[in-house]
Amino acid sequence: MTCSNPFVVKWVEETAARLKPTNVVWVNGSDEEYRSICDQLVSDGTFTPLNPKKFPNSYWAVSDPSDVARVEDRTFICTRSQDDAGPTNNWADPREMFKTLNSLMEGCMQGRTMYVVPYLMGPDGSPFSRVGFELTDSLYVVANMRIMARIGDTALRNLKDDSNDFVRGVHSIGDLDPEHRYICHFPEQNIIASFNSNYGGNALQGKKCFALRIASTLARRQGWLAEHMLILGITNPKGEKHYVCAAFPSACGKTNLAMLIPPQSYLEQGWKVETVGDDIAWLNFGSDGRLYAINPEAGFFGVAPGTSYKTNPNAMDTIKSNTIFTNTALDLDEMVPWWEGLGEPPKRVRDWMKHDWTPASKTKAAHPNSRFTAPARQCPSIDANWESPGGVPISAIIFGGRRAHTTPLVYQARDWQHGTFVGVTMASETTAAATGKVGELRRDPMAMLPFIGYHAGDYFQHWLDMGKRAGAKMPGVFHVNWFRTDDAGKFLWPGFGDNMRVLEWVLGRVAGKAGAAETPLGFQPRAEDLNLQGATLSAAAVEELLAVKKADWEEELESQEKFFNKIGAKLPKEIWTEHRALRQRLGL
């Protein structure tokens, strides 16, 4: 394969001269090439082939124990002005960071092959798609990128020969020294550099680095949104179809919702739910003033523990072939992946640290953040329009978080400004997807806190400005909480497929047909407004799920103010206005 873009060729040559690889290989994305890559990874011990009858063309891999998740404390936004990065990002001066990286990475690919991976974020031929390049010395990264993005010839077809508009990315495994691990973004130059990691979003640069951190800065400049959101298509019994986006922090049920199977009673009535994307949405205005979303990714990078035929049958069917499992356990008798949540453990288990494991072991067999990398096209619920170049029209945006108390099951924002406030004030109890303590309350606006590529205050203003655009027809905005618990800590809401009952109400509100009561939070369903037929819920549980308790919200408002003060002077005045109005409505 040859690249005829002189800007790309020059940059690749300059990078190779600095990093000094023994070989430079351009990746073309073909099936034959992928088979060869997997064979090499098996040969060098990185991949363990799985049972070809049960998991054809699938592999098991483990990472270095120090390299198992996103490393937010080693992730930097490098802009000329620190104010452009804002208070929620780690900032570094780009000149100083380039010096640091150049010093660390000089000659780092000696004795290694540098793979040139052209990749396309978004559907082939879409005006909303963007091209990036990742230069990497990790064949493991190439294999995962081949699933997660459209790589090779497809990407090059979408880059004009005279275009300098592409994201430049360099990645090296280095020696995996966590003290010198860097995940760096240079939004003013559209550059990504990652070093000393070979895991997930740290190394797969199309994932969070490009699709969110760099893309969010492009979106602000160009008038669109790059968001940490799933995209779901829902068809009602009348054949009317709506698409919704939903934002949840990682490992909070997002993939489960993206692949939701409605209760049997809904299926019998003719309801249908289809998947466009499970993690990231790019939203652009169409000629009709509505927001249209594309899924910039080609695969799913899902959390394995907790995924099962009980919680997510579609995900389980998706990962049956052509999938890479990283940091799960391995059933040595069947040669299939295993993790907590799949039922009884097998007789002989190798854990993610490559040790023999039994239920008596003090550690988990699979790492809590272990992942599967699987092609989206294999998902049984994949939407026929998931690669539509024009995207799909969005009727509603849903925010959500893991809150044991305070936040009710669902409510609707009054308008776009209020909806932006609802997104800004999202909070969730932390999970294993990010390093740090599990269970701490963390403010996570729009589920984007680790992914906003510029000042959070400017990001909130961009959301407000999108709604002020002439002719804009903005989607309805909602907030959900599947995780409310009773006094004993037991979940009140059954979740999973039963979340369809909430989605039905959301679409009913969008269509102007579903009832609601106006409350201090916005518009909430009464018990009679929700379709609870067949749900195993007591009247008391429903009442508790919908309750808004003043004492909880007094604490919540104080927490919001602390977060707003952290954002500082750039927090839009409209957000303070909404906060004060909520306090007044609550009588606090």
What element of type H or E holds 104? Answer: helix 94-105
**Catalytic hit among 78, 209, 252, 379:** 252
Tokens of 299: 């695969």
Question: C-alpha 269: how far from its chain's center?
Answer: 32
- Which residues have a Cβ under 8 Å from the Cβ of 275 and sit 6 or more positions away? 230, 231, 232, 233, 258, 259, 314, 376, 379, 381, 382, 383, 386
For the chain, counts of helices (H) and of strands (E): 17, 31
| 69: helix, strand or coil | coil
- Whole-angstrom CA distances from 141 to 30, 44, 144, 368 are 16, 14, 5, 21
| 538: helix, strand or coil | coil
SS (H, E, C) 552-583: HHHHHHHHHHHHHHHHHHHCCHHHHHHHHHHH
Strand-pair partners of 195 = 172, 182
Around 118, how many Cα atoms within 13 Å sit in the side-chain half-sphere? 24
Residue at token pair 């201090």: 520
DSSP E strands in 122-277: the ranges are: 130-136, 150-151, 167-172, 182-186, 191-195, 225-227, 230-235, 241-247, 272-277
> Read out DSSP for 390-457?
T-EEEEEEEEE---SSSS-SEEE-SSHHHHHHHHHT-EEE--TTBSS-TT-EEE-GGG-TTT-SS-HH
Which sign, positive or negative, has the C-alpha torsion 136, 139, 144, 147? positive
Can 252 be counted among the known catalytic residues?
yes
**Catalytic residue annotation:** 252
